[in-house]
Structure 1
Amino acid sequence: MPIARIFQLPKNAMQSGRARTKDWTLDFEPAEAKKPDPLTGWAGSGDTRDQIRLNFPTAEAAIDYCERQGWDYTVIPAPEKVLKLQAYADNFR
């Protein structure tokens, strides 16, 4: 039975805006370990659920979807946002 992970993506360090940081994402834990391909050396596996990623507006919507499908799930809470307040002049101390 697939185990789904429900979480919020953090803001990327290369992002200036907050696009898609409020959405909740559902993906699956890997069913098998990745192994190197003997010809190319690239890592891969036969688990196709690794390619699935679903977005939901709320965590409750993602949980309802998992329960309707009969999947086990874990909800990973969003990390606390810590603001580092400093003055521009502090850069020159």
Structure 2
Amino acid sequence: MQSGLKKTKSWIVEFQFDSTLKKDVLMGWNSSNNTNKQIKLSFPNLDDAKSWCLKNNLSYEVEDQSYKSLKPKSYSSNFSSARRTSWTH
């Protein structure tokens, strides 16, 4: 599996979690009448996301971006004797 950076440059608006979940009697699944948890809107920049929230009278909270540190490595590092875990396929 490869971990690319294709869709990581956008800003996402998510609605806050509503804790009024009900347990389904038959299957045991969690259910809710509030479907806003399923909605995720993405915007190309922070200003567009903020203006959409203000236009729709929604309060918002900006979380800091987390950056993934990438270690450059080669294919041969999969077979190195200094590898901590075994390489499985």
User: Normalized against structure 1, the TM-score is what?
Assistant: 0.70
- Whole-angstrom distance in 1 between the partners of 2:29 and 2:38: 16
- Whole-angstrom distance in 1 between the partners of 2:80 and 2:23: 46
Task: State the identity %.
Answer: 34
**How far 1:15 moved relative to its partner?**
4.0
User: In the alignment, which residue of structure 2 is the partner of 1:19?
Assistant: 6
Q: Please identify which structure carries the higher strand content.
A: 1
CA pair 22-56 structure 1, distance change in 2 beyond 3 A: same
RCO higher in structure (CA 8 A, sep ≥6): 1
Unmatched 5+ stretches in structure 1? 1-13
CA pair 15-29 structure 1, distance change in 2 beyond 3 A: farther
SS in 1 for 2:71: coil
- Whole-angstrom distance in 2 between the partners of 1:58 and 1:15: 26
Instruction: Give the greater-gyration-radius structure (CA).
Output: 2
**2:60 aligned with 1:73, yes or no?**
yes
**2:55 aligned with 1:49, yes or no?**
no
CA pair 84-60 structure 1, distance change in 2 beyond 3 A: same
- How many residue pairs match? The answer is 80
Aligned mate of 1:92, from 69, 73, 81: 81
User: Normalized against structure 2, the TM-score is what?
Assistant: 0.72
SS in 2 for 1:55: strand
**How far 1:83 moved relative to its partner?**
2.5
